Amino acid sequence: MEMGGFINYSKYNVLKLFPQEFIPKTLFIYKKSQKENILNLLQKAELNFPLIAKPDMGERGNRIAKVDNLEELKAYFIEFPKRNILLQEYIDYPFEYGIMFYRFSQKEQGTISSMVEKEFLTVCGDGKSTVRELVEADSRRTLYLEHLEEVYKHKSTLAQIPPKGKIVLLEPIGNHRRGTTFLDANHKINTDLLRVFDGLSQRLDGFYFGRYDIKAKSLEDLYAGKNFKIMELNGVNSEPAHIYDPKMPLWKAYRDLFRHWKNIYKIGTQNHQKGTAYLDFKTGLKHAFAKELISFVPHYED
């Protein structure tokens, strides 16, 4: 990862390092390629709608969208004509987790230091209220009404009256900006989970710190190392996302942040002692202020 994953690194280049069974089918769309040929590219990659479209470089769920048809995809391309885009198969597994992993270079085994479970933005039908009314009746959900109005361009969706007890998924993207609640799942970390992610991490030469964002069919499957997909692997810009649990005291959140930053420092200094050069200040500034930097541009056939 560029700058260890601090900023401006290609998600696609990272995903390519994993076995195909653990990642969604992914198509890289170069910003200068002829996007008019997208149907042929999708067929070649065996991708079908719905799809997840996202910038190859980006953070905080920015500009990620679920596209349900060709018209929506073309509109997405028009909105972001100069960015490299990833198109991924939509994974509808019900569970999404963020798993923070680190390993000191002199240690054979790593550590899972944070696990967060994502609770998506939903409403529960009462059989008489519209989706809009259910959103407006909740002090937290109503904060996302303007966003939902943009997502549901056809207002009929918000006007629907879901049956009593029916859970309606309002936003499929698991991000704070999209209304997702982050829940502390550190109590679910065990030796089985460590075995799975230590094994995956050991495959990546030079990887010592980052957060896996994954979707799974069940927690039991995740422990068994099956039926899950790695949506992204973030680098040193990662946060131990369990700190955003609404019940997390502020002092504990800062404590856990400081612990993770300390681990990044220790890993960096250990790797430097083994011969890895520090990034010079001038190059760091160049990356920090550039809109998009690519050291290697992959081709979709990769």
Residue of 256, 249, 118 whose CA lies nearest to 183: 118
For residues 265-281, give the mean pLDDT.
91
Between the CA atoms of 76, 81, 87 and 91, what dihedral angle is there, to the nearest 10 degrees? -40
For the stretch 8-21, pLDDT in tens is: 788 999 999 999 99
For residue 198, list its beta bridge partners.
Answer: none
Residues 6+ apart with CB under 8 A from 244: 116, 176, 182, 253
Q: CA-to-CA distance for 271 and 104, rounded, in angstroms?
A: 9
Residue spans of the domains in the chain: they are 25-90, 91-120+171-250+260-271, 123-169
- Determine what percent of the chain is predicted with pLDDT higher than 70: 91
**CATH classification code of 25-90:** 3.30.1490.20
For the stretch 215-243, pLDDT in tens is: 999 999 999 999 999 999 999 988 999 99
Q: CA-to-CA distance for 99 and 185, rounded, in angstroms?
A: 9
Helix, strand, or coil (residue 200): helix
For the stretch 77-108, pLDDT in tens is: 888 877 889 999 999 999 999 999 999 988 99
For the stretch 35-64, pLDDT in tens is: 668 888 899 999 999 999 998 887 665 778
Output 256 or 289, whichever has higher pLDDT: 256
Residue of 291, 35, 173, 292 whose CA lies nearest to 27: 35
pLDDT (0 to 100) of residue 287: 74
Tokens of 220: 């039991």
For residue 88, list its beta bridge partners.
Answer: 26, 52
Tokens of 174: 């698991």
pLDDT (0 to 100) of residue 177: 81
pLDDT (0 to 100) of residue 10: 86
pLDDT classification of 153: cutoffs 50, 70, 90: low
For domain 91-120+171-250+260-271, give the fold.
D-amino Acid Aminotransferase; Chain A, domain 1 (3.30.470)
The residue with tokens 């361009």 is 153
pLDDT (0 to 100) of residue 155: 59
pLDDT (0 to 100) of residue 219: 98
